[in-house]
Amino acid sequence: IKDEIKIFIPYLILFIVAVVLIAVLQNDLGQVILLALTLGVMLLFAGGSLRLLGVIFLGTISTAFVAIITSPHRILRVKSWWASAQDSVLALLPQGWAENLRVSGLPEPYQIYHAANAISSGGFFGSGLGEGYIKLGFLSDVHTDIVLAGITEELGFVGLFVIVMLFSYMLWRFFRIANRVANKTYYLFCVGIALLLGFSLIINAFGISGITPVKGIAVPFLSYGGSSLIANCIAIGLVLSISKNTQLNERSL
């Protein structure tokens, strides 16, 4: 494991630089969590051992814990999330433990409360495109990180299912391209782009549904934001370029 750690040190330094630039200077812990998840899974694709992944996981959890307890607004966000999720979790524990872990006096997060209402009111087929009413004063900035709730209200379970299937197909294509690439760097690049897009959707969906605290992660291609859209388009363009070069190399052989 010492040899693996030596190989991993340059990537760890690059990740620490990203942490300083994003989490410290821009106060955005959500993007760091997204990058950490992607880096950890890519380590397995690169041939790393589970022992090394366990060491990195413990280090990441410790760093995230320190970042949370040293920031009052992050502590409040975690408490607010727990206030809304505790009834479902504590029902599975003994009564004595449940009472010790229960947090009182905190209201359910405003956005999560109305996001859940929007998802619930959408039903199976939704209220119709453009006919959602919870976004009109109740769910603020629905076009940003909370866009999945607005889509589900108007297009229902069917609309959300179509979005998930489209993302799944896109990620499947990325992994298929990666599986055909002989170059290890190109292979890991395709895998990394697929993981970034997939984890972004999962973290956002879990956040608006109350499963995890909200992290402010945008839904690729759906949330408002020009820089995110451009970055995702460039990433997909590079993957398609790798796919095209792979096809040309196969034909030449």
Rounded to whole angstroms, the Cα distance separating 226 from 181 reads 31
Q: Are 158 and 164 in contact (CB under 8 A)?
A: no
Tell me the percentage of the chain whose pLDDT exceeds 90.
20
Hey, which of 139-148, 188-197, 220-229 has the most confident mean pLDDT? 188-197
Q: Which of 63-77, 86-100, 150-164, 171-185 comes out lowest in average pLDDT? A: 86-100
pLDDT at position 197 is: 93
Question: How far is 242 from 184, CA to CA, in rounded Å?
Answer: 12
In SS3 terms, the chain reads as CHHHHHHHHHHHHHHHHHHHHHHHCCCCHHHHHHHHHHHHHHHHHCCCCHHHHHHHHHHHHHHHHHHHHCCHHHHHHHHHHHHHHHHHHHCCCCHHHHHHHCCCCCCCCHHHHHHHHHHHHHCCCCCCCCCCCCCCCCCCCCCCCCHHHHHHHHHHHHHHHHHHHHHHHHHHHHHHHHHHCCCHHHHHHHHHHHHHHHHHHHHHHHHHCCCCCCCCCCCCCCCCCHHHHHHHHHHHHHHHHHHHHHHHHHHHC
pLDDT computed for residue 234 by the predictor = 94
| 75-84, 98-107, 134-143, 199-208, range with the lowest pLDDT | 98-107
- pLDDT confidence band for 11 (50 / 70 / 90): confident
pTM above 0.85, yes or no: no
Condensed to tens digits (0 to 9), the pLDDT of residues 86-135 reads: 666 666 667 776 676 776 666 666 777 778 888 888 888 888 888 878 87
Least confident of 39-53, 100-114, 145-159, 185-199: 100-114
